[in-house]
Amino acid sequence: MPAATVKPTPYFSVIIPVHNDWGPLADCLESMGKQSGTPEFEVIVVDDGSRDEGPKSIHQYGTFFPVRVVRQPHSGIAAARNRGAQESRGAILLFTDADCRLERTCLSALREKITSSPDHSYFQLRLAGDFSNLLARAEDLRLATIQDLHLQPDGRIRYLNTSGFALRKSAIGARTELFDPAARRSEDTLLLTDLIQRGELPLFVADALVRHIIQMSFTECIRKDIRVAWLEARTFDLIAAKGVRVRMKNRERVAMLRSTWKASSQASLGKSAWFVLAFRQALQRSISVLYRSLPFRSK
């Protein structure tokens, strides 16, 4: 009788939550298959109660790396990320989203940074847009400015975005939940709050690049912004209860607008990208203020 094949333990477990957004996932997985010089990794797709099961074509990527689809009842993005962490086998957990693409050297650059930084357990990858349309240019402008403003002199960053965030699995310890399931959005900012309370910040990995792709129309984007801003407002109630400030002050918002206006002078971005960004930021801020004015917010 032949001996059982022992699967090598992956270095990375890449966790991708999905809720009805199977289309963008194919490009995300394809970017995984194009990684160069990377150690063994697995991909865990957590289907958070999508209307339909994922297409069978997902499993074709098994030629390049182990890929599993784990289904669960719709429980929110935080619960989906937690489920992926529970299912993982890798020493390093890497969280990203279906609408993200990893640059070819992303995983190898991340491994190099982790290996050379044994005293750090949390790592924020560099995020960018893809310049393919006006919304994408505005997204690149937003992400670049936020990361620049929050980068600390010691190389750590007061920012956490699960479009590209990694940690040593050993940092979770005996906990079964890394993210608070009560957060339906901004679960990453809530986690950042916990890290700040413990005196920790993610180490910024500038060479590990993840691109956030926006392929929706402007109207679809605005509808999503409204929905997300409403859910984020609830999460910021949880953050406020911890007594940690993570929101920008008004003067910081003004500084960000000035910084993005200056950066939009680049031909690859353009002033139109700034106006789109400013409109989206104002809309999200308005939703947040509206939420805080409602009497039932504490219920």
The per-residue pLDDT for range 88-107, each reduced to its tens digit, is: 999 999 999 999 999 999 99
String of b and e for 284-296 (b: at least 16 CB within 10 Å)? beebbeebeeeee
Question: Do the Cβ atoms of 94 and 110 come closer than 8 Å?
Answer: yes
pLDDT over 60 at 298, yes or no: no
The pTM of the full predicted model, rounded to 2 decimals, is: 0.92
Residues 291 and 239: their CA atoms lie apart, in Å, by: 15
Comparing CA positions, the residue from 130, 275, 271 lying closest to residue 209 is: 130
Mean pLDDT across the stretch 136-154? Answer: 95
The per-residue pLDDT for 2 is 55
Encode pLDDT of 169-186 as tens digits: 999 987 879 999 999 899
3-class SS at 235?
helix
Non-local CB neighbours of 251 within 8 Å, separated by 6+ positions: none
Distances (CA, A) of 102 to 95, 121, 125, 161, 195: 11, 21, 10, 14, 25
Residues 274 and 142: their CA atoms lie apart, in Å, by: 9
Encode pLDDT of 209-228 as tens digits: 999 999 889 999 999 999 99
Share of the chain above pLDDT 70, in %: 96
Share of the chain above pLDDT 90, in %: 68
Q: Which fold is adopted by the domain 12-292?
A: Spore Coat Polysaccharide Biosynthesis Protein SpsA; Chain A (3.90.550)
